[in-house]
Amino acid sequence: MGKAERKKQILDSAARLFSSRRFDEVLMDDIAHEAGVAKGTLYSYFPDKEELYFAVVFEGLSQLNSTLEALPDRQMEPDQQLREVMHAIVAFLRKNRFFFKLLFMEDNKGEGGRGEYRRRWHQERHHQMDVIEAVLAKGAESGVLDIRCLHVEAQILRGMVQSVLHSYHRGQVTAEEMVDVIMRVFLDGVRVRP
C-alpha cells in the first residue's frame, strides 16, 4: 500500500477518534486498531501521540483553507460571493464532521500547551477569517453591507456557521438550506420590518 494512502488512513482514524473522545481517552491502540495497522506503525508516520493529534488538526485546517483558496474569483455581487464562501465552508464541514468538532474544540482551547502549535493554529485559522473579511470588506466598500468592525462581524459569521452546523447536524438538512439560514439572519436579521 502507498505510504501516503496509509498515512491518510491513520489521520482519518485518528480524526474520528479524537473528535469524539478526550485526548487522554483515545489510546494509540485504539487508533492503530481503527486504522487497521499495528501500534508501532503509527510511530513510523508520526513521532508521537501529540504530533499525530496536531497533524490531524492541521490536516483538516489546510484542507479547508485549500477549499477556500480554490474558490473562483468571479465577478459577482458581494452577497452572492459571501454565499459562495459560506457554502464552501459549510459543505466542507458537513463532509468532515470529525474535523468540524476538532476545529471548534481547538478554537476554544486555552493558551496553555505548546505555544508553537497555538501560534501556528491561530495563523492558519486567520487565513480563513481573511477570506471572509475580504468579502465583507468588498461589500462594505460597495455600500451593500454595513460593516462596523470587520473583524467582529467576520467572527460572528463564523459563530453562526458553527451553531447552525451544530443544531442541524443530526438532521437531513442540505448545505444549501444551512447557508440560506445563515445568509438570511446575517444579512437581514430576524426583526420584522414594517
- Find the shortest distance in angstroms from Cβ 59 to DNA: 18
How far is 194 from 113, CA to CA, in rounded Å? 52
How far is 55 from 53, CA to CA, in rounded Å? 5
- Find the shortest distance in angstroms from Cβ 120 to DNA: 19
How far is 172 from 84, CA to CA, in rounded Å? 21
Q: Which entry of its own copies, DNA, none binds 116, CB below 5 to 8 A by partner kind?
A: none
Q: Cβ(72)–Cβ(89) under 8 Å?
A: no
When asked if residue 54 is in the footprint of DNA (CB under 7 A), the reply is no
Q: Which entry of DNA, its own copies, none binds 38, CB below 5 to 8 A by partner kind?
A: DNA
Cα dist from 72 to 85, 133, 138, 164, whole Å: 10, 16, 16, 25
Q: Which is nearer to its own copies, 4 or 148 (CB)?
A: 148
Distance of CA 63 to the CA centre of its chain: 9
When asked if residue 118 is in the footprint of DNA (CB under 7 A), the reply is no
User: Within positions 5 to 44, which residues make up the interface with DNA, using CB under 7 A?
Assistant: 6, 24, 26-29, 37-41, 43-44
- Find the shortest distance in angstroms from Cβ 38 to its own copies: 16
Which residues contact residue 53 at a Cβ distance below 8 angstroms, ignoring those fewer than 6 apart? 14, 18, 23
Q: Which entry of DNA, its own copies, none binds 48, CB below 5 to 8 A by partner kind?
A: DNA
The grid coordinates of residue 70 equal 480554490
Q: Cβ(60)–Cβ(156) under 8 Å?
A: no
Which residues contact residue 166 at a Cβ distance below 8 angstroms, ignoring those fewer than 6 apart? none
Q: Which is nearer to its own copies, 72 or 173 (CB)?
A: 173
The grid coordinates of residue 175 equal 448545505
Q: Which entry of its own copies, DNA, none binds 151, CB below 5 to 8 A by partner kind?
A: its own copies
Contact set with its own copies (CB under 8 A): 19-25, 79, 101, 104-105, 107-113, 136, 143-149, 151-153, 155-156, 158-164, 166-168, 181-182, 184-193
Q: Which entry of its own copies, DNA, none binds 95, CB below 5 to 8 A by partner kind?
A: none
Give contact residues for DNA (rule: CB under 7 A).
Answer: 1, 3, 6, 24, 26-29, 37-41, 43-44, 48-50
